[in-house]
Amino acid sequence: MTINNLQKTNEVQVLLSDAYSGRISNLHKSIELATKALDISKSIDNKLLIAKSLNQLSLYCMINSDFEESNKHAHEAIIYFKAINDERGIADAKYNIGSIHYKTDNYHEGLIYLKEAIRIYKKYDDFESLSKVEKAIGTVYEYIGDRSNAFSSYKSAVKNARKAGNINIESNVFNNLSGLLLKRNKPSIAMKMIAYAISIKKETDDTRGLAFAIYGRGKIHLKQGDFKNAEADFLYAIDKHNKVVEIMGASMAYNKLGELYYKNNQLDKATKTVKEGLKLSTSYNIAMVKIKGYNLLYRIFKEQSNIIKAFKYLELYLKEKETIMNTQTHQVMENYNLINKMNVLESDALLQKERQEIIEKKNKDEQKAVKLKQEFLSVMSHEIRTPLNAITTIVSILDDQVRGESKSLIKSLQFASDNLINIVNNVLDFTKLDSKKTALDLENRNFNALSTKILNLHLNLAKTKDLTLVLDNKIPKDRNYLIDQTKLTQILSNLIGNAIKFTDKGQVTFSLKLLKEEPQFDTIQISVKDTGEGISEKDISEIFLSFSQIKPVMTRKQGGTGLGLAIVKKLVKLHNSKIQVRSTLQEGSEFYFNLKLEKVTQLELIKNKPIYPQLKNKNVLLAEDTIMNAVLIKKVLSKWGVTTEHVTNGKLAVEYAQKKEYDFILMDLHMPELNGLDATRLIRSTANKNTHTPIFAITADVMTSKNKETSQLFNKILWKPIEIDKLYAALEQEALPACKVTLEKKEDKTDLTA
């Protein structure tokens, strides 16, 4: 390096340092310094400094709400960072891109970039950057209504900020936490947190951060009805945000101040203030602030009985909201409700598919993206299957205790919960359908019984719409076939559910027709017909596309993300058939397909399975951190004469295994202190009383089967929600050899006596 280049390198480093430290008080100056640093870096062709300059410019443009320019700089920075193999630089740029996405309401793509940044920062124990990204992820979760995950992310962000010794980032997180607590109706705790954040911002002289913190305090005052102090805080925030050119912060503060005036019946002041905020949010396309502004103006003019203006802003509000709700991100947001499990999984599948398309287009980072997808599937499946485990186990226990009419209700509940589990499995397996790795799992089933159960599952939904739901079965009711019950149930549930959804009057008919009989096979036509709104010829070609909706989100009455028929098409194709449609607008639609099914003899039902002696008096160590699941499993095991000792983490499981010999160990994989995988490794590899004891993995994590080590460590994997019959079969199978030896010895002794 020449002396001249060395001088320029030092100059760039000084410029970037000054730009970064000055960003909190003079953003325009920071942009000017970073631009100069970029020009000098390019003149000496220093790729590292070019990348750093671009990344800083991206940050400052983002703060200035110039999101398009910010995104351009960040992507260009990644090119340079990759050229010099600078992983942390790549993470910095991806943090910027992730932040841009969520600030422009593209939440799911924002999460992808932010998660990728976290993965890199963890490799280097970069606690400061981890805290910063976790705060952003917490914000995303908060936007989409997942307050539990938001709280967890903020909590982790505080820990990492303290590890890094960065009180400024810590105070930023407390600012967000106070807002979250305010939503949980805990204003007093929120006020303590925001007071702490304000004190740090004053101490560090962070003008921009202080403005956000004062704004946060204003929201608490407003919630408590303290209009005077709330007004003072919002005016302060507006003034400071305008001085440091923090567009988003200023527009948010204007909006809240307008809301304050509206609540205080100062409607003229409210109108003027909200319009000031709208000028900023419209100029810089800050969608969520715009939506709130339009909605507030609609309410103000409605209050003033100014119908024309009220209608104008109502239209603007609906149009803006529809624009956002039609984006892929808000499909995720719309369905981000763990109670509505199926919708969540549909959105999850959408997220996976879109992520894969991005990877294919860019033709890079494939391994990293696959790993991210697996981690996401792992978390989603675990979070959904764990509560489902409690539901299905309780149903199984109640089945033995109820009689009469309640028995049929339990059977319906059991079928519904089983069906939900099966749908969860299939949606999580959507990528396998794409890759043609899914096969039919054929079982001996009575078609009439299955069809009746599927129909009963939808009766209440039809009843709420005053629709008649009919089963027209033209095949022999006592005939059994080899059927994949899971996949066929999913096909029919989607078709019947859609028919009910898009029908307002009349009836839905589920028909089974015997087309052809052969000695070994029957060909059956299955159809679902409705008297609903019908589908145009143009739209019929679109409805089977993944994630397709033939109406915009805000104009259609029905929910859903358009994944159902895409899955139906793939599953019917898996049966070597093709789904077809007949439809007339305003008259109704009929979806139908043919199946060639192998006939089999009816199974003899076993009503009460006896408790076999090989399980009686056995003892089990159960490692499970979810208390409800543990209680239910213990109750089931006790019915079979099995004694259970329960521990709540892997560390305790290892300690118990050293002290006492067990007949079986049931090991949950996701536990605190020490996870089930590591605990099992220790039990298998260290001196203890259970080195060769059968150990069963109990998990809701669908990615477990991808791990080769898992199949070697465990005798069997039992999926949550646990199916009671499969648990019994697994324990029984391991107990049989011991039972056989006992019986043989007994027979030998008898022979000798004789």
Closest-CA residue to 584 (of 535, 538, 543): 535
Whether 231 has a pLDDT exceeding 80, the answer reads yes
Question: Which segment, 64-73, 217-226, 319-328, 429-438, is predicted with the most confidence on average?
Answer: 217-226
Give the model's pLDDT for residue 419.
Answer: 60
Q: Which fold has domain 226-338?
A: 1.25.40
* Between 479 and 426, residue with greater pLDDT: 479
The residue among 163 and 745 whose pLDDT is bigger is 163
Mean pLDDT, residues 643-667 taken together: 93
Query: In three state form, how does the secondary structure of 417-428 look?
Result: HHHHHHHHHHHH
Q: What whole-number percentage of the chain has pLDDT above 90? A: 39
The whole-number pLDDT of residue 350 equals: 46
**What local confidence, expressed as pLDDT, does residue 377 receive?**
55
406-600 to CATH, choices 2.60.40.1180, 3.40.50.300, 3.40.50.720, 3.30.565.10: 3.30.565.10
Residue 213 pLDDT exceeds 50: yes
Residue written as token pair 């109990």: 698
Q: What is the CATH superfamily name and number for domain 86-205?
A: Tetratricopeptide repeat domain (1.25.40.10)
Lowest mean pLDDT among 365-379, 460-474, 507-521, 738-752: 738-752
What average pLDDT does this structure show over 669-681?
88
pLDDT at residue 695 tops 50: yes
Confidence of residue 669 (pLDDT cuts 50, 70, 90): confident
Stronger pLDDT, 392 or 161, i.e. the higher one: 161
| Integer Cα distance of 525 and 676 in angstroms | 48
pLDDT at site 127: 93
pLDDT surpassing 70 at residue 483:
yes
**What is the structure's pLDDT at 335?**
37
Q: Are 683 and 662 within 8 A, CB to CB?
A: no
Strands ordered across the beta sheet of 664-668: 643-647, 619-623, 664-668, 695-699, 716-719
Confidence (pLDDT) at 330: 42
Q: Average pLDDT, whole number, for the chain? A: 80
Question: Would the pLDDT of 651 be above 90?
Answer: yes
User: Residue 722: phi, psi to the nearest 5?
Assistant: -70, 130
Give DSSP secondary structure letters for 517-532.
E-SSEEEEEEEEEE-S
3-state secondary structure of 514: strand
The band of 134, judged by pLDDT with boundaries at 50, 70 and 90, is very high
Distance between CA atoms of 31 and 19, rounded to whole angstroms?
7
Top-confidence residue, 17 or 747? 17
Query: What pLDDT score does 559 carry?
Result: 41
What's the pLDDT at 551? 53
- Whether the per-residue pLDDT at 654 is higher than 90: the answer is yes
The pLDDT of residue 658 is 93
Give the side-chain half-sphere CA count within 13 A for 212: 25
Give residue 560's pLDDT band: very low, low, confident or very high (50, 70, 90).
Answer: very low
What is residue 289's predicted lDDT score, i.e. its pLDDT? 83
The whole-number pLDDT of residue 359 equals 58
Rounded to whole angstroms, the Cα distance separating 238 from 272 reads: 14
pLDDT tens by residue, 396-405? 666 666 666 6
> What pLDDT is recorded for position 538?
82
Asked whether the predicted pLDDT for residue 609 surpasses 60, the reply is no
Q: Which residue has the higher pLDDT, 401 or 517?
A: 517
**Given this model, what pLDDT does residue 243 score?**
84
Question: Looking at residues 441-466, what average pLDDT do you find?
Answer: 87
Give me the mean pLDDT over the 193-213 stretch.
Answer: 89
Eight-class DSSP state of 602: P
Instruction: Pinpoint the alpha helices (H) of 284-340.
Output: 287-303, 307-325, 328-335
Q: How far apart are CA 67 and CA 99, in angstroms?
A: 10
Average pLDDT over residues 78-101: 92
Distance CA 313, CA 275 (A): 11
Q: If you average pLDDT over residues 507-520, what whole number do you get?
A: 93
Q: Is 667 helix (H, G, I), strand (E, B) or coil?
A: strand
Write down the CATH superfamily of domain 364-401+609-754.
Response regulator (3.40.50.2300)
Q: What is the pTM of this model?
A: 0.44
Mind listing the pLDDT tens digit for each residue in 145-193?
Answer: 788 888 999 999 999 999 999 998 999 999 999 988 988 889 999 999 9
CA count, 13 A, side-chain hemisphere, 152: 5
Q: Provide mean pLDDT across the span 371-385.
A: 57
pLDDT at residue 387 in the model: 66
Check whether 706 has a pLDDT greater than 80.
Answer: no
230 or 710, higher pLDDT: 230
Cα 603 to Cα 311, 482, 613, distances in angstroms: 65, 11, 25
Q: What's the Rg (C-alpha) of the chain?
A: 31
Question: Regarding predicted confidence, which is higher, 101 or 195?
Answer: 195
Q: How confident is the model at residue 718 (pLDDT cuts 50, 70, 90)?
A: confident
Which pLDDT score, from 0 to 100, does residue 130 have? 93
Average pLDDT on 580-601 reads 92
Place of tokens 């302060």: 236
Confidence band of 537 (pLDDT split at 50, 70, 90): confident
* pLDDT for 751: 34
Greater confidence (108 vs 676) lies with 676
Tell whether the model's pLDDT for residue 22 goes beyond 90.
no
What is the pLDDT confidence band of residue 480, given thresholds at 50, 70 and 90? very high
User: CA 70 to CA 65: how far, in whole Å?
Assistant: 8
CA distance 386 to 383: 6
Which of 6-20, 385-399, 436-450, 688-702 has the lowest average pLDDT?
Answer: 385-399
The total number of residues shown for the chain amounts to 754
Task: Quickly tell me which residue has 């705060």 as its tokens.
Answer: 135
Is 500 in contact with 465 (CB distance < 8 Å)? yes
Tens digit of each residue's pLDDT (9 = 90 or more) over 325-361: 555 444 444 334 433 443 344 345 445 555 556 556 5
Whether the per-residue pLDDT at 208 is higher than 80: the answer is yes
Cβ-in-10-Å burial (0-12, 13-18, 19+) of 114 comes to buried
**Tell me, what's the pLDDT at 342?**
35
Q: Average pLDDT, stretch 87-107?
A: 87
Q: Quick one: which of 420, 384, 489, 415 has its CA closest to 720?
A: 384
271 has a pLDDT exceeding 50: yes
